[in-house]
Amino acid sequence: MFLRYPHLAGMTGTAATSAGELRKIYRTPVVRVPTNRPPQRIQLPSRVFGTLNSKFEAIAKEVEEIHATGRPVLVGTRSIDKSVLLSKLLDDLGIEHEVLNANNVEREAEIVAEAGGRGKVTVATNMAGRGTDIKLSNDVEQIGGMHVICTELHDAARIDRQLIGRCGRQGDRGSYRQYLSLDDDILKGGYGAIKYEKLKKRGEATSGSVDRLAAMFHKAQRKVERRHFRDRMVLMHHEKERKKMQREIGQDPYLDTPD
């Protein structure tokens, strides 16, 4: 549909990771616009654990440590179930927090408005709160800004960047860290079921962290991204063929529904 327009333009903070696809499909270049203020977001080393449970226990521990400094913490999860799991661990540690997911979207504006306050802890599914700007209170900027924790890699790095971009906005201070485990879904999607099961068994026999394996997760993510790109290209090819056939029989491919 977009290709019917003579001119296309758009703006997003995560276009760079999809630059090749945008150029190939829509014939549009991606141009980086310099930030108004120098970015102060700090990337902390990724942590890798053997199992999901050990990973979430470590996440809860980091939340406790950051929370003690007064900095606000935002934790992004991929599902409601995992947001509930982390919420229970935080309850066990006596840490007050808010959970933002599809079960309480009616409070989204209220939760997001307060998420940048001193000592605030927010657990959110990554779709929740998108498109809203978390405002930091004045004293939070002085102690380091917001800290974001990514609990798992997504099928597209662009989605991870959207979560990371919740901290260090508009030149504010901030930091983020990614937590990974050997039973994360991204490994199954990137390497296949057989290797995934081997990694999962290795994880079950592993105690502590294995941070040296972090690069393996990003490689798996790139494999998934390439596969999804190929799928979209095949779908677009079939769509072009369908439109061509409809035109040949006198139908409008955009208005007439094929039988």
Are 128 and 147 found together in one domain? yes
**Residue 240 covered by a domain:** no
**Count of beta carbons in the 10 Å neighbourhood of residue 1:** 6
Tell me which long-range contacts 104-108 makes (C-beta under 8 A, separation of at least 24).
Answer: 108/132
| H-type alpha helices, the chain | 19-26, 52-68, 80-92, 108-114, 138-142, 157-164, 185-191, 193-204, 214-248
Q: Do 131 and 149 fall within a single domain? A: yes
In a shared domain, residues 47 and 27: no
Q: Do the beta carbons of residue 224 and residue 155 sit within 8 Å?
A: yes
pLDDT of residue 132: 65
Do 76 and 142 fall within a single domain? yes
Say yes or no: 6 and 88 in one domain. Answer: no
As given in the structure block, the two tokens for residue 197 are 């099961």
Query: Cα angle at 77 between 10 and 51, to 5 degrees?
Result: 135
Domain identity same for 124 and 56: yes
Q: For residue 177, what pLDDT is reported?
A: 97
3 state SS of 196: helix
- Which residues constitute the domain of residue 11? 1-33
CA distance 110 to 123: 14
Q: What is the CATH number of the domain that holds 156?
A: 3.40.50.300
258 falls within a domain: no
- The pLDDT profile of the chain, 259 residues, written as one tens digit per residue, is 677 788 888 888 888 888 888 888 888 899 998 888 898 999 999 999 999 999 999 999 999 999 999 999 999 999 999 999 999 999 999 999 999 888 777 788 788 888 999 999 999 987 555 556 788 888 998 999 999 999 999 999 989 998 998 898 888 899 999 999 999 999 999 999 999 888 888 878 877 788 889 999 999 999 999 999 999 989 888 888 888 888 888 888 777 776 5
Number of domain units in the chain: 2
Per the document, the length of the chain is 259
Q: Are residues 22 and 47 in the same domain?
A: no
Domain-located, residue 231: no
- Strands 73-77 and 40-43 come out as unpaired
Shared domain check, 48 and 26: no
Q: Are residues 97 and 23 in the same domain?
A: no
Across the strands, what pairs with 177? 149
Four-residue CA torsion sign, 155, 67, 204, 52: negative
Residues 108 and 143 in one domain: yes
For residue 165, tell me if it sits in a domain: yes
Residues 152 and 175 in one domain: yes
Q: Which of 248, 2, 59 is CA-nearest to residue 256?
A: 248
Give residue 117's identity as a one-letter amino acid code. G
pLDDT at residue 155, as a whole number: 92
Tokens 């924790």 belong to: 149
Q: Which residues contact 230 (CB under 8 A, 6 or more apart)?
A: none
> Is residue 236 domain-resident?
no
Q: Are residues 158 and 209 in the same domain?
A: yes
pTM of the model: 0.86
Assigned domain for 137 exists: yes
